[in-house]
């Protein structure tokens, strides 16, 4: 009798120790983590720490690395760029450690991206999301990110428009993702990201149509 009780007690202890969190709770937590991390505006924080104007109300009024370049120079712009990229990488990498669910992984990337566009900590005034989307693609399938960098560079060299380069990369991203990650969840998430990038580039598209969009300036050779 005592022996049976000990076995029962031991089994109960093993069950308690081996108890795993509810997968749904883990998934919801990952989505919230992705959105809140995406909502941290690196450009706003960097400009504030450097004593510079708020990029949401200065220059192009866009809290992104390009506007930080205008306001604070190359070093701060590089910091903002890497910060935005990491916001896309970190949530997806963490999610891949905790789940293999393709839908959740794709949604985590999408939520991080949406957080950058509509950050809860900054009155939902975010950037255009190109760098954060790039971070998501790096974490999901780095060859896709590498190919998109090539598309961006080629479009930028041909047109001299940063906006056209970004829109070109966003356009081909879903097809590239489908090649490397055939699950439809990733393709649909990338289609949503592409659509939102187009939506956030509405002013740029209008300026392109009117012929007033600023071109990329290449440094002239010194004599």
How far is the C-alpha of 66 from the C-alpha of 166, rounded, in Å? 12
Residue 112 maps to a domain? yes
164: pLDDT strictly greater than 70: yes
Asked, for residue 30, whether it belongs to a domain, the answer is: yes
Q: Is residue 49 part of a domain?
A: yes
CB 151 within 8 A of CB 172: yes
pLDDT tens figures, 8-57: 444 444 444 456 678 899 999 999 999 999 999 999 999 999 998 989 88
Q: What is the pLDDT of residue 28?
A: 95
Residue 215 inside a domain? The answer is no
Q: Provide the pLDDT confidence category of residue 58 given band limits of 50, 70 and 90.
A: confident
Number of domains in the chain: 1
CA distance 2 to 9: 10
Averaged pLDDT of the chain: 88
Range of the structural domain that residue 143 is part of? 22-210
Residue 179 falls inside a structural domain: yes
Taking only the tens place, the pLDDT of each residue in 132-156 is 999 999 999 999 999 999 999 999 9
Q: Is residue 7 part of a domain?
A: no
Specify the pTM.
0.86
CB 122 within 8 A of CB 108: no
| Cα dihedral 126, 129, 131, 137 sign | positive
106 HSE (CA, 13 A, CB side): 19
Q: Is 99 left (phi over 0), alpha (psi -120 to 50) or beta?
A: beta
Is there a contact between 39 and 121 (Cβ–Cβ < 8 Å)? yes
Q: In this structure, is residue 10 part of a structural domain?
A: no
Please report the pLDDT score of residue 223 as a whole number. 40
Evaluate whether residue 28 is within a structural domain. yes
Asked if residue 200 has pLDDT above 80, the reply is yes
Among 65-79, 90-104, 164-178, whose mean pLDDT is lowest? 65-79
Q: Is residue 101 over pLDDT 90?
A: yes
Q: What's the mean pLDDT in 114-135? A: 94
């Amino acid at each position: 009798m005592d022996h049976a009780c000990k076995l029962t007690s031991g089994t109960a202890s093993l069950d308690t120790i081996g108890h795993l969190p509810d997968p749904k709770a883990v998934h919801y937590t990952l989505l919230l983590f992705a959105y809140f991390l995406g909502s941290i505006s690196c450009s706003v924080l960097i400009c504030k720490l450097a004593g510079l104007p708020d990029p949401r109300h200065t220059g192009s009024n866009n809290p992104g690395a390009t506007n930080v370049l205008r306001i604070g120079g190359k070093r701060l712009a590089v910091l903002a760029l890497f910060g935005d990229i990491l916001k896309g990488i970190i949530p997806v990498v963490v999610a891949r450690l905790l789940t293999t669910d393709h839908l959740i992984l794709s949604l985590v990337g999408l939520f991080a991206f949406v957080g950058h566009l509509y950050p809860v900590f900054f009155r939902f005034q975010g950037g255009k999301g190109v760098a954060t989307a790039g971070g998501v693609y790096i974490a999901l399938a780095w060859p896709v990110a590498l190919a998109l960098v090539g598309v961006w560079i080629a479009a930028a060299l041909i047109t001299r428009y940063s906006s056209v380069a970004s829109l070109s990369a966003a356009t081909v991203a879903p097809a590239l993702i489908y090649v490397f990650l055939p699950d439809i969840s990733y393709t649909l998430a990338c289609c949503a990201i592409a659509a939102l990038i187009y939506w956030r580039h509405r002013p740029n598209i209008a300026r392109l149509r009117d012929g007033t969009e600023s071109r990329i300036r290449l440094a002239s050779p010194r004599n």
